Structure 1
Amino acid sequence: DLIGVDTARTVLEAMYASSGDRLHAPAPILGHLAEAGLTGQKSGRGFYTYAEAGSSTIVRDAQTPPDGAGLAEGRPVAKVGVAGSGTMASGIAQVFAQAGFAVVLAARSQEKASAAKAAIGKSLDRAVSKGRLTAENAAQTLERISPVGSLDAFADVDLAVEAVAEDLAVKQELFAALDKVCRPGAVLATTTSSLPVIAIARVTSRPQDVIGMHFFNPAPAMKLVEVVRTVLTADDVHATVREICVKVRKHPVDCGDRAGFIVNALLFPYLNNAVKMVEQHYASLDDIDAAMRLGGGYPMGPFELLDVVGLDVSLAIEKVLHKEFRDPGLAPSPLLEHLVAAGCLGRKTGRGFREYARR
């Protein structure tokens, strides 16, 4: 809307004419809006409705209702179970505990669960040292977390959040176990970033209680949660998760159950195209990073971001997007595949698109 719907369409038409890449072809809705004179802020209406032509003040309408409008009443949640022992699981457990919830942190062994709680303790200590949290609040947060080596402790949780490996078979196995352990009426949430939530829900006897709750890494710092409801998710389950997001000071956005949801479906084609630019010797990775930081306003360039996310994680998401949408333009870059095969996964291994000093 700020650029101008008509301007965006013209630029994309020129890019498509030059490249022939279907990813550059303007979406039909851009043409429909432009033909109707709904060109964005300059006309007073585009994807949003504005107070007047040239205004940036958004007027709520049927397409942009106030947050929470029309939601059912959610289920009560006092105790939360988090399954997993990695960075994501630890971060999510910290988020809930800091918001005052009793948290059960379950891993494959008591040792791994205790190590995950210790990692949370270090994270809280850093927050205290930076003045973001008092020592008393940090201690109270840690006390709310109970590390366990079995899912049996999830018997009385109101919300179970899965944060294990991004592998469909692994997640399905875990949800089948949660279905047996968790009480009737408990909400079962997956943090998958790209897998179909319905495929996870269908291994349970209660798919209506299953929903996607995609946190971003690092969970304590990132404010967004993608709330992904399937065709079988109950209205009160959806309402519960949105209410919980607000209570833990996150911003929920609703999206459909399709590969990549919102963020990754938009982000990873962009990242993949950046890698292809380097492959084709169109520009250097330093210059591309600088261009997107300084010209695009991004906090990180694409290669900086890829190394932070992890090249293996990025490749897995790109493969899921390519498989679902079957667009040749979404095929992962060979360079990315080669780096992953070589074990160069980004910052976590000390080398990705760039080399990093070992900690």
Structure 2
Amino acid sequence: MIKNVGIVGAGQMGCGIAQVSAAAGYKVHIYDIAADRVEAGLATINGNMARQVSSGKLTDEERKKALSLIKGSADLNDLSQADLVIEAATEDESIKRKIYGQVCPVLKTDAILATNTSSLSITRLASATDRPERFMGIHFMNPVPVMKLVELVRGIATDEGTFQTAKQFVTALDKTITVAEDFPAFIVNRILLPMINEAIYTLYEGVGSVDAIDTAMKLGANHPMGPLQLADFIGLDTCLSIMQVLHDGLADSKYRPCPLLVKYVEAGWLGRKSGRGFYDYRGDTPVPTR
């Protein structure tokens, strides 16, 4: 039975997972190496829930109850009572492995450790822990409070009890589950990122401008957001790292990251979070950069 949930990483994903977990009645503890990030994360959750109250999605009573269930700190030992710990650190395998080395010794022996990775091998990550049979992928979509889907991914060693417990937890969050096998980028990103990469190739080869490509896909394929706008929202560095995982893991040239994507990342133009990507966000309205 999951009662206490630990989250590693107070970024956008970690805070989103914390918010939906607390809204479902779980006690949540957010851990981050930087105390100021924890403070900023808690403030973000408070702001998000206040907006949900003003739009009628939550009552003020529900907001207060959920916020009372969330705590945060820069002390790893505060995860010692967690039944489930979800790692939501940056999409970098070496960083994740280092975190598991630090987290595993403080966890209860029967605690489940999960990763929110969007592309990395669950089996390989599990091998860096002391509990591969109690380790799996629970991949939330961004932004977590809005997106209904969660991908559940078992590693080769994940036992059935761990999988069933994760299913019950995700169902309690009122999310829809899709089960993916442990292959690079799972289901959503295996399909989505090559599409985004192809849109960047279309721009790179001069087939259309940023505006032409995004308008074409919004109105011609009924996508709610154009692929280049979506890339900026995801973060171009994240897009590049997922394409590299696909290219390295499947060794197929169709997954080669577009050189223009590489160039934007090298420039530090990572999308919305850095102020510039395929659009420039520094003014009142986003302006295409090509």
TM-score when scaled to structure 1? 0.77
Secondary structure of the structure 2 residue equivalent to 1:266? helix
Cα deviation, residue 344, structure 1 = 1.1
Contact 1:274 1:302 in 2 (8 A): yes
Contact 1:128 1:134 in 2 (8 A): yes
Aligned to 2:7: 82
2: CA distance, partners of 1:208 / 1:324 = 23
Matched AA of 2:141: F
Cα deviation, residue 125, structure 1 = 1.1
1: CA distance, partners of 2:245 / 2:36 = 33
Which consecutive residues of structure 2, in runs of 5 or more, have no partner in the other structure? 285-290
Residue by residue over 1:102-135, the C-alpha shift from the partner in whole angstroms, topping out at 9 and shown as x without a partner, is 1111111444323221211111111112121111
2: CA distance, partners of 1:201 / 1:193 = 15
Cα deviation, residue 358, structure 1 = 5.0
Contact 2:134 2:162 in 1 (8 A): yes
The question of 1:99 aligning with 2:27 is answered no
Cα deviation, residue 285, structure 1 = 2.5
Identity of aligned residues (%): 39
Map 1:240-319 → 2, pairs under 5 A = 240-319=165-244
Q: Residues 110 and 283 of structure 1: is their aligned pair in 2 closer, same or farther, counting only changes over 3 Å?
A: closer
Residue by residue over 1:154-185, the C-alpha shift from the partner in whole angstroms, topping out at 9 and shown as x without a partner, is 11111111111111111111112222111111
Aligned to 2:163: 238
The question of 1:112 aligning with 2:112 is answered no
2:270 corresponds, among 335, 345, 355, to: 345
Cα deviation, residue 248, structure 1 = 0.5
2: CA distance, partners of 1:99 / 1:270 = 34
Aligned to 1:57: none
Cα deviation, residue 328, structure 1 = 1.3
1: CA distance, partners of 2:97 / 2:140 = 19
1: CA distance, partners of 2:17 / 2:187 = 20
The question of 1:157 aligning with 2:86 is answered no
Map 1:125-274 → 2, pairs under 5 A = 125-274=50-199
Cα RMSD of the aligned pairs, angstroms, is 1.3
Aligned to 1:43: none
Secondary structure of the structure 2 residue equivalent to 1:225? strand
The question of 1:122 aligning with 2:122 is answered no
Contact 2:11 2:37 in 1 (8 A): no
1: CA distance, partners of 2:242 / 2:170 = 24
Structure showing greater radius of gyration is 1
Secondary structure of the structure 2 residue equivalent to 1:156? coil
Cα deviation, residue 283, structure 1 = 2.2
> Larger relative contact order (C-alpha < 8 A, sep ≥ 6)?
2
1: CA distance, partners of 2:91 / 2:204 = 28
Residue by residue over 1:238-285, the C-alpha shift from the partner in whole angstroms, topping out at 9 and shown as x without a partner, is 011111111001111111111110000011111111111121122222
Which consecutive residues of structure 1, in runs of 5 or more, have no partner in the other structure? 1-75
1: CA distance, partners of 2:10 / 2:3 = 22
Contact 1:109 1:150 in 2 (8 A): no
1: CA distance, partners of 2:79 / 2:276 = 39
The question of 1:327 aligning with 2:264 is answered no
Matched AA of 1:211: M
Aligned to 1:14: none
2: CA distance, partners of 1:154 / 1:235 = 24
Secondary structure of the structure 2 residue equivalent to 1:161? strand
2: CA distance, partners of 1:330 / 1:339 = 18
- Which deviates more from structure 2 when the two are superposed, residues 254-263 or residues 343-352? 343-352
Cα deviation, residue 99, structure 1 = 0.4
2: CA distance, partners of 1:245 / 1:135 = 24
Contact 1:350 1:358 in 2 (8 A): no
2: CA distance, partners of 1:348 / 1:231 = 35
TM-score when scaled to structure 2? 0.95
